[in-house]
């Protein structure tokens, strides 16, 4: 499993429009081969900043399968005009996952 991380700086005043567009965009990405899950959270201290976390089966499912597909064109059309600056996307792999007992504390 690969975890995609992107810190999204949305232009101030466009947060509601971004969230509405994202609700459409998430249906696009969720249909991509290798997609596992997605989480979008909003900053408390900086409410124009969002953290996007997407789980993929492999790095290539994101970088090739999604990014080189027509679905990415739709995603880009819906979302990219909201960002300033354009986000850096990074990928992570598990080193250690919390045990069930530890995650309840």
Is the pLDDT assigned to residue 105 strictly greater than 60? no
Per residue in 20-73, pLDDT (tens digit) is 999 999 999 999 999 999 999 999 999 999 999 999 999 999 999 999 999 999
- Virtual torsion, Cα 68, 43, 37, 15, nearest 10 deg: -60
Q: Which domains does the chain have, with CATH numbers?
A: 2-87 (3.30.70.100)
DSSP the chain: -EEEEEEEEBPTT-HHHHHHHHHHHHHHHTTSTTEEEEEEEE-SSSTTEEEEEEEESSHHIIIIIITTSHHHHHHHHHHGGGBSSPPPEEEE--S----HHHHT-
For residues 93-101, give the mean pLDDT.
Answer: 80
Cut 0.85: pTM above it? yes
Is the pLDDT assigned to residue 101 strictly greater than 70? no
């Amino acid at each position: 499993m690969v975890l995609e991380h992107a810190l999204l700086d949305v232009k101030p005043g466009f947060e509601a429009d971004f969230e509405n567009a994202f609700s459409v965009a998430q249906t696009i990405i969720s249909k991509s081969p290798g997609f596992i899950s997605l989480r979008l959270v909003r900053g408390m201290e900086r409410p124009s900043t969002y953290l996007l976390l997407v789980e993929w089966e492999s790095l290539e499912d994101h970088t090739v399968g999604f990014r080189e597909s027509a679905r990415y064109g739709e995603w880009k059309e819906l979302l990219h005009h909201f960002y300033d600056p354009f986000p850096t996307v990074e990928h992570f792999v598990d080193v250690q996952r919390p045990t069930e007992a530890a995650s309840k504390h």
